[in-house]
Structure 1
């Protein structure tokens, strides 16, 4: 994904962000913008809007109330599209671009990008553009991308006689370390894997070289040995490693309180973790263990911006703001304020944007090192994507809560998901 660029090219690309094609407007055009997860993105979005409007006086960015999750955001857009009240610009989870694009709601951004010349010179590599492709069009531009990592309480490792500087790379090592830390007692747990959601489950599945569905999207792909191996890891973390069956937020709070040795979650949590931990303990980050080092991959979490407005003036204004959000400057703001990895190659390559930041903040480099093995966050075909995600979570929960064996939960999950897929 590396592109060799001169300083002149970088400066020209940044200027192009503000020189994107626009309509001649007498009064500011107000665009209605939606995003999810305000705990992660509120400060970043407000900073982006302020920076954009300071340079672009002919556009006013107005945010509607943010939704709590990506799935809530998708339901909002689909519901409001029925009456034509969808936002002009929405930031959607990468696995929900497909359902919005296939319903004809998204503007194809390819022609708009083409008018600006070579997209690679603007920092949009083919791989980055591919993240936002869905429904046969350029449905969006990647805004924030993440991958799963391990957050480490270095103090608990040392209390348990373990070395937090020696990274553990296999699940056997992870489970053994979890058992050792849990033995400290006093409400301490060695590990917490935040299992709620199909994305974090797919991290295990993809790490073993598995797939959600076969390439033709006719057969469930997680019902085989890779799927069984994935659920077995969670089963062993509970039985052998002492992992508690907490909700996602309760698990995060337990980690912040210094009661969890290893917390498995998204790089998106990094900035929030650094703010909430204070001086509770020393934090480290490790790469996510792959069950199969040769075939293992990791899912790309995060969001992409989608232009939904059909009004020419609002459509152009929304596109310009999206371009700013995904420019080198915008991408640097997003990375520094969250923990996500860059969505613009110029931001990653030019030290003026993120080079010095990564040098001074090594915890953020863990996610960057995993970028070469990132693959798309899988989107199931049909209109039942949200229900399928819930079905996967429900069955994974049965294993974590020890209410079903791995074999039973896997068989039920495959059967239930199959019922929700479109008929051939």
Structure 2
């Protein structure tokens, strides 16, 4: 963290009534006495497999690290950073947290997220990072330092119902690769079946902006300038991407559904195609089993332009200032991103494995990948993955909300896409740090 960022964080904490903790001393090489660390995790707040798998991993960690006790704290992905902020302000600083990538810059500048370079040696970091995806490791970097270690993350996948494709006279072995082909296929499905053509997880109260970012960038659009000072999501390439979504909706190819309704509709076989995070794969597989042929393809592209998918999901970050707890936190972080843990995270929850070296290894994911071809588009896109951009400053969530509201008005509200995005950008620019 640079001096300016540190001072911003200090002022934010003092303004919130918190006492800024002292900087840590040297972190010990091992945990040589009992210690308890808090672990803020949003999978723990979910129902079903995500929570159960996470609890099991924590229990396994404690079994092999008997001196470390983990105190789990569950909160939803949209509430977790606010919970962390409130507890930091109250002097209850979390030790480890699962933080969504769009919150990372705020966490670094305002909550005291520590860089791994300031906690463990280069030799130890390199040893743990061996076998991990270079693109995956970049997701948690800011200003040249590693503040977060990618944990549960995924790429956008186009799930599709092969049975509906057949009924519509489409070839399920050749799914749409471009947005124009998506439109054609969706209209065929709506015309020849009773199902909806295509739905997405781009919009909605719980959608965030991660999927929208990938759509803009795939048309060579952008969100803000490289120096992170000027918003750019109303520039022509970005507006053109929004106009494409508007055309899909106006044509009747695109059905506007809330995320839960779209997921349930896809799982029930009532939607032809659904663009969403690969993390819902398990839910869709369970719904489709014995009912219809569920398949998956990569994110659609714009003509000949390559896809530029970005990630959803989270990174593990360390906030503790206590040297012993920092070592315990790093040990937990290592375990949760180990080969064994990623075998569980990928096969049971549905996220990408940060460790690409286990994909073909029969001891880990090798046999599972052969039996579950739906993971293949996700793995393919890992090679072209780009980071989920986090807006700067304390108003980052309002900026994100304004951008997404502008896009929704353009796609579903009847506004001219250029006018809607320009108005959203002008209003959001006023909230950017000066």
Q: TM-score range by the shorter chain?
A: 0.7 to 0.9
1:14-29 residue pairs with structure 2 within 5 A?
A: 21-25=29-33, 27=34, 29=35
Match of 1:4 in 2: none
1:311-390 residue pairs with structure 2 within 5 A?
A: 311-348=322-359, 350-390=361-401
Q: Distance in 1 between matches of 2:212 and 2:129?
A: 36
Match of 1:45 in 2: 54
Q: Distance in 1 between matches of 2:275 and 2:324?
A: 44
Using the size of structure 1 for normalisation, the TM-score is 0.88
1:363-411, CA deviations, whole angstroms, 9 ceiling, x for partnerless residues? 1111001112111100111111111222222222223323423222222
Q: Does 1:33 align with 2:44?
A: no
Report which stretch shifted further, 310-319 or 121-130.
121-130
1:59-93, CA deviations, whole angstroms, 9 ceiling, x for partnerless residues? 122211332x2x32112112221112232110011
- Divergent runs of 4+, >6 A: none
Match of 2:220 in 1: 209
1:183-262 residue pairs with structure 2 within 5 A?
A: 183-184=191-192, 186=194, 188-196=195-203, 197-262=208-273
User: Structure 1 residues 94, 127: closer, same or farther in 2, change over 3 A?
Assistant: same
Report which stretch shifted further, 362-371 or 103-112.
103-112
Q: Distance in 1 between matches of 2:267 and 2:133?
A: 37
Match of 1:11 in 2: none
User: Structure 1 residues 125, 369: closer, same or farther in 2, change over 3 A?
Assistant: closer
Match of 2:70 in 1: 61
Match of 1:15 in 2: none
User: Structure 1 residues 198, 121: closer, same or farther in 2, change over 3 A?
Assistant: closer
Match of 1:291 in 2: 302
User: Structure 1 residues 292, 315: closer, same or farther in 2, change over 3 A?
Assistant: farther
Q: Distance in 2 between matches of 1:288 and 1:162?
A: 18
Using the size of structure 2 for normalisation, the TM-score is 0.86
Which residue among 121, 144, 148 is the counterpart of 2:152? 144
- CA drift of 1:113 comes to 4.6
User: Structure 1 residues 127, 208: closer, same or farther in 2, change over 3 A?
Assistant: same
**Secondary structure, aligned partner of 2:295:** strand
Q: Distance in 1 between matches of 2:36 and 2:284?
A: 35
Name stretches of at least 5 consecutive residues in structure 1 with no aligned partner: 1-19
Q: How many residues align?
A: 399
Which residue among 74, 83, 86 is the counterpart of 2:93? 86
Match of 1:133 in 2: 141
- CA drift of 1:185 comes to 5.5
8 Å Cα contact 2:178/2:303 also seen in 1: no
Q: Does 1:156 align with 2:164?
A: yes
Match of 2:404 in 1: 393
- CA drift of 1:164 comes to 1.2
User: Structure 1 residues 303, 132: closer, same or farther in 2, change over 3 A?
Assistant: same
Match of 2:103 in 1: 96
Q: Distance in 1 between matches of 2:230 and 2:288?
A: 44
8 Å Cα contact 2:135/2:386 also seen in 1: no
